[in-house]
Copies of this chain bind each other. A is one copy, B any other.
Amino acid sequence: MLSVRGIRTAALRLIDRDGLENLSMRRLAQELDVQAASLYSHYRTKEDLLADIANEIMAEVDVSGFESGDWRHGLTVWARSYRAALAAHPNLVPVIAAGPGRREAALRRADAVHGGLVAAGWPARHATMIGASTKYLVVGAAINSFARGFDADVQVYRDRYPNLSQAHRLSEHAAEIDNDSFELALSAFLDGLDRTFAALGHEPGAQHAGGD
């Protein structure tokens, strides 16, 4: 018999294998040896189904790094695991990026991040902005990486964009470049935040261990 979980799993498998645009309710039903209409006994709409899957994936994201009271560590752990979760299902990135809407898991995590930053000594307003900024970085990196920006076809680039003469190589090393770019962006961002944190009157590198 069909189950909410079974539908979710099959849908995710299809998305991973054939891409988001090739997931249709009829194809999904076929995969489950069932008629398309039957799916609507378990999910109200296709959108609901996708949101549920997105929720499931976001549950992997790790916000435990803030428990130490070290905001830099917390942000690093959060950002990396966030990115890893998106990277695990590239075809679903557009769905997840398109908006947390009122997804349960996303909200609970946003709350943890915000709370962690405030506990570490950031003003509430900064905490909001830092949470948003980090998300920008992660989501932007995921989209750009998995929407494959550069074409592997050499001919397209040769002689036309002198500074990009190696552009076709980007595809080969795409994963590596993506990762390094993300890490560069993250560490540069955190370094910059360190300065801001110090300017707010905190010892550079200091952390709030407990309450104050």
Contacts and interface: CB of A to CB of B under 8 A. Distances in A.
Nearest to A108: B161
Contacts of A46: none
A65 interface: no
A157 B195 CA distance: 33
Contacts of A160: 107
A185 B163 CA distance: 27
A12 to B, nearest CB: 20
Nearest to A138: B140
A98 B102 contact: no
B140 A141 contact: yes
Contacts of A118: 163
A151 interface: yes
Given A111-B164, A163-B114, A132 B177 contact: yes
Interface string A186-199: 01111111011000
Interface in A78-101: 94, 97-101
Interface in A42-83: none
Contacts of A170: 128
A181 B108 contact: no
B129 A164 contact: no
12 contacts: A97-B143, A110-B161, A110-B164, A111-B164, A128-B170, A132-B144, A136-B182, A185-B189, A188-B188, A188-B191, A190-B192, A191-B195
**7 smallest A-B Cβ distances: which pairs?**
A140-B140, A188-B192, A136-B140, A133-B185, A191-B192, A99-B147, A132-B181
